[in-house]
């Protein structure tokens, strides 16, 4: 495939991923927040969510479900998304709260925090509010805005994909910091997921303050 063909393919992909946003724009919604989370499955660290409001003429190629992208590509896109978004907000909920209210509720709380933060920034910058949300597979209770829960939203909506990248890079950076603070668990590479090295670290050193106790009941 030539470079031109590859770029053309990426343009078509971006156009396809903007269809939900275009449809909402055509119904009179101007500021659409895409919402996604990362970190529901790990044994350690927070769950993080992002709400991203992109301009209608957003034209950065390569934005896709963060799981399909290399770490290098995600880092590159993170900078481009955060500097081109009309607004974005991040919500983070730590292990203690996850253990207290369960991971699904903690995920919804992280999403709520992210939406409220993006809304505040949008109001400050443009004197406007998010008027519709596209959420990856969920609806967020306590958020009084129209919501479209979209299965595989991070692969089908450009604003949800952008949110998935920002949330992923944000959380990964936290886990790299946690690796320096709590060596021996492989947090920099496994990001808190249950790898062999991670389980070995728990067996040898016990749990850290960032471990989710409810995910490790049989290891107390």
Could you read off the pLDDT of 126-150 as tens digits, one per residue?
A: 999 999 999 999 999 999 999 999 9
Residue 217 has pLDDT above 90, yes or no: no
Sign of CA dihedral 126, 84, 155, 121: negative
Q: What is the mean pLDDT of the chain?
A: 97
Give burial (CB, 10 Å; 0-12/13-18/19+) of 152. exposed
Per-residue pLDDT, 1: 87
Q: How confident is the model at residue 203 (pLDDT cuts 50, 70, 90)?
A: very high
What domains sit in the chain, N to C, each tagged with a CATH number? 3-170 (3.30.420.10)
Whole-prediction pTM value?
0.97
Q: What integer pLDDT is reported at residue 220 of this predicted model?
A: 54
- Alpha-carbon torsion angle 112, 114, 117, 122, nearest 10: -110
Query: For 175-193, what is the mean pLDDT?
Result: 98
Predicted confidence (pLDDT) at residue 218 exceeds the cutoff of 80: no
Dump pLDDT digits (tens) for 18-71.
Answer: 999 999 999 999 999 999 999 999 999 999 999 999 999 999 999 999 999 999
Both tokens of 167, joined, read 């949330």
Written as one string, the DSSP assignment of 23-40 is: HHHHTT---EEEEEEE-S
pLDDT of the residue at 83: 97
- Check pLDDT > 70 for residue 189: yes
Measured distance CA(74)–CA(93) in Å, rounded: 22
Residue 163: is its pLDDT beyond 80? yes
Residues 6+ apart with CB under 8 A from 199: none
Cα(147)–Cα(180) distance, integer angstroms: 39
Structure confidence at residue 207 (pLDDT)? 96
Give residue-wise pLDDT tens across range 75-119: 999 999 999 999 999 999 999 999 999 999 999 999 999 999 999
């Amino acid at each position: 495939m030539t470079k031109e063909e590859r770029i053309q393919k990426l343009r078509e992909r971006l156009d396809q991923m903007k269809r939900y946003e275009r449809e909402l724009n055509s119904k009179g919604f101007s500021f659409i927040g895409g919402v996604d989370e990362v970190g529901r499955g790990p044994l350690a660290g927070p769950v993080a969510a992002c709400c991203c409001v992109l301009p209608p003429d957003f034209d950065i190629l390569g934005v896709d479900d963060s799981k399909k992208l290399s770490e290098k590509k995600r880092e590159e896109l993170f900078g481009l998304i955060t500097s081109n978004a009309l607004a974005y907000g991040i919500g983070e909920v730590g292990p203690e709260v996850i253990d207290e209210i369960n991971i699904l509720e903690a995920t919804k709380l992280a999403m709520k925090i992210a939406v409220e933060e993006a809304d505040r920034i949008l109001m400050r910058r443009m004197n406007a509010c998010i008027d519709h949300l596209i959420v990856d597979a969920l609806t967020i209770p306590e958020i009084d805005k129209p919501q479209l829960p979209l299965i595989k939203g991070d692969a089908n909506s450009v604003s949800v994909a952008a949110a998935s990248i920002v949330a992923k890079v944000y959380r990964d950076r936290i886990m790299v910091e946690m690796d320096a603070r709590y060596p021996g668990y492989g947090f920099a590479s496994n990001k808190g997921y249950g790898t062999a090295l991670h389980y070995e670290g728990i067996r040898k050193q016990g749990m850290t303050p960032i471990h989710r106790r409810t995910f490790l009941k049989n290891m107390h």
